[in-house]
């Protein structure tokens, strides 16, 4: 099934809104600036690898931070 560019944009916007709504902002704001920036980047862009590199954490540790922050990584 082919998706149009507009359908992909809508999907990404919906995913971003889900990440924003479910995020534990108190937890995110309590993190160091680097981790906080990486978590926010992931919420906004959904790019796990770049967000993980920004955080300076190993991938599994960053995924744990996402879990603790309540940020979903899958939607369907």
Position 74 confidence tier, pLDDT thresholds 50, 70, 90: confident
Residue 75 has pLDDT above 80, yes or no: no
- Compute the CA torsion angle 69, 62, 67, 37 (nearest 10 deg): 20
Position 1 confidence tier, pLDDT thresholds 50, 70, 90: low
CA 28 to chain centre: 11
Tell me the per-residue pLDDT of 12-36, one tens digit each, with 9 for 90 and over.
999 999 999 999 999 999 999 999 9
Tell me the per-residue pLDDT of 52-73, one tens digit each, with 9 for 90 and over.
999 999 999 999 999 999 999 9
């Amino acid at each position: 099934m082919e998706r149009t560019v507009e359908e992909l944009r809508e999907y990404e916007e919906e995913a971003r809104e889900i990440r924003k709504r479910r995020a534990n902002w108190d937890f995110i704001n309590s993190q160091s600036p680097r981790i906080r920036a990486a978590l926010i980047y992931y919420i906004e862009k959904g790019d796990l690898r770049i967000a993980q590199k920004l955080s300076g954490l190993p991938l599994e540790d960053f995924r744990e931070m996402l879990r603790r922050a309540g940020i979903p990584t899958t939607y369907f």
